[in-house]
Amino acid sequence: MADVKTSPAVEAGLTALAVSLRGVTKAYDNGVMALGPLDLAVRKGEFISLLGPSGCGKSTALRIIAELSAPSSGTVRVARHAGEAQPGHVQPGHGIGFVFQEPTLMPWTSVRENVRLPLRLAGVPKAEARARADEALASVGLADFADAYPRELSGGMKMRVSLARALVTDPDILLMDEPFAALDEITRFRLNNDLLALWRALGKTVIFVTHSVFESVYLSQRVVVMTARPGRIQADIRIETVEPRGEEFRTSAAYSDYCRKVSAALAPSYSGQSTL
């Protein structure tokens, strides 16, 4: 992951930033121009959503931030905490937790072992890793399922395990790529509320990709709307409301107004797109 290495003047501005993308583009080897130029600044502790049509480069942007993919041009800066270089405590992903759309759990081993995996890879001693895995499972409401196998869990529970696995390394930044898209609405609402509670309690920076206008407005402090491919910023809408959010917000006039505003900002990104 790129360190925050800049001139003092720029650094002063970056201290409050978790992620900064400047003029970032991505052209894949097959010639597909997937992204950008994209400029995006995310403050530490902020919860933002990325919203945009299929194929506009949302996953590509997350992968670039996580350094799973290199940008073709532009600069990527990600601020991370300092204490991660301790031997035996090096965190894979360098302070970044990634939650994918599919929970991608290892079916042959327990929930606890699935959550412990990133710590095992980082060489964290077994007893400590086990305790931290159990703590992460408790934080997502699965304390009683540490010994269960993935096949014994519902879709929502599997996604909770995936979230616990992303949290177990105590990352500064949580990248979430349509994590709740496959869940029924009630489970999704519940996970939305639990995610907000965790965000408030843990103070992480969250970048959340979704196709749902409703979900983006409910969760985020800012909704960043992207254009069709190659994805650029179409609109950046701040969602100001009373915190903490709950069912009252979801049924409020302010919520519908924001949803309308975000939908209107999104409409041009879909114009001219095939509906096939």
Using CB under 6 A as the criterion, which residues of the chain lie in contact with ligand ATP when the complex forms? 28, 30, 32, 34, 52, 54-60, 229
Residue closest to Mg ion when measured from CB atoms: 59
Q: What is the rounded CA–CA span in Å between residue 112 and residue 165?
A: 9
Partner whose binding site includes residue 55, from Mg ion, ligand ATP, none (CB under 5 to 8 Å by kind): ligand ATP
Nearer to ligand ATP, 32 or 117 (CB): 32
Token pair listed for 91: 């965190």
Q: How many CB atoms lie within 10 A of CB 211?
A: 14
Nearer to Mg ion, 53 or 118 (CB): 53
Nearer to ligand ATP, 130 or 229 (CB): 229
Task: Identify which range of 36-44, 51-59, 147-155, 164-172 contacts Mg ion by CB under 5 A.
Answer: 51-59
Q: Does 59 bind Mg ion (CB under 5 A)?
A: yes
Cβ at position 100, least distance to ligand ATP in Å? 11
Task: Identify which range of 11-19, 26-34, 55-63, 245-253 contacts Mg ion by CB under 5 A.
Answer: 55-63
Nearer to Mg ion, 20 or 59 (CB): 59
Partner whose binding site includes residue 30, from Mg ion, ligand ATP, none (CB under 5 to 8 Å by kind): ligand ATP
Nearer to ligand ATP, 212 or 252 (CB): 212
Cβ at position 71, least distance to ligand ATP in Å? 12
Q: Does 49 bind Mg ion (CB under 5 A)?
A: no
Q: Does 269 bind Mg ion (CB under 5 A)?
A: no
Q: What is the rounded CA–CA span in Å between residue 236 and residue 49?
A: 10
From the list 181, 177, 257, the residue with the least C-alpha distance to 217 is 257
Cβ at position 240, least distance to ligand ATP in Å? 27
Nearer to Mg ion, 26 or 130 (CB): 26
Q: Phi/psi zone of residue 60: left (φ > 0), alpha (ψ -120 to 50 degrees), beta? A: alpha
Nearer to ligand ATP, 29 or 247 (CB): 29
Q: What is the rounded CA–CA span in Å between residue 208 and residue 219?
A: 9
Nearest-Å Rg of the Cα atoms of the chain is: 19
Q: In terms of C-beta density within 10 A (0-12 exposed, 13-18 middle, 19 or more buried), how is residue 69 classed?
A: middle
Token pair listed for 178: 């349509």
Cβ at position 98, least distance to ligand ATP in Å? 14
Q: Does 216 bind Mg ion (CB under 5 A)?
A: no
Cβ burial 123-134 (10 Å sphere, 16+ → b, else e): ebeeeebbebbb
Partner whose binding site includes residue 60, from Mg ion, ligand ATP, none (CB under 5 to 8 Å by kind): ligand ATP
Cβ burial 166-198 (10 Å sphere, 16+ → b, else e): bbbbbbbbbbbbbbbeebeeebbbbbbbbbbeb
Q: What are the backbone dihedrals phi and psi of residue 88, each rounded to the nearest 5 degrees, phi first?
A: 80, -10
**Site for Mg ion, rule CB under 5 A:** 59
